[in-house]
Structure 1
């Protein structure tokens, strides 16, 4: 089973690319580093906002109210001991 890129993988890559591009412009050109990072940081914040609020990780707001049984929670995330 091969791995495929998803929307959030691309968002993370674009955030890293945005900040790297800002740092690169700050180091290579005569534009000061801080303003270049600030401008490209705003772009990264826009990407984060889009990923969270426009194209959020849930389909419907009702999905947020679904309760999980303890058995459904992966063991690594469960604060409780093993059910066995």
Structure 2
């Protein structure tokens, strides 16, 4: 069974900037996770400019790059996460 699908990023191109083609499902899952996280962060007024799918994989899993943030953003994230953590 083929585990690749045709997937285009928001720009209508593959994430690597190439033309339409096949990429693996794991990349699509990571890209979907990035989109969901970006939307959730936007709702609390946080933007992570470096948020995206990392070029590195661990086994069959693509990593999500969160990037660097200013201290005030880190504190805001900690407040939000701390407010919902059990």
TM-score when normalising by structure 1: 0.33
The answer to which structure has the higher helix fraction is 1
Question: Which of the pair has the greater relative contact order for Cα pairs under 8 Å at 6+ separation?
Answer: 1
Which of the pair is proportionally richer in strand? 2
Q: TM-score, normalised by structure 2?
A: 0.33
- The structure having more radius of gyration, on CA atoms, is 1
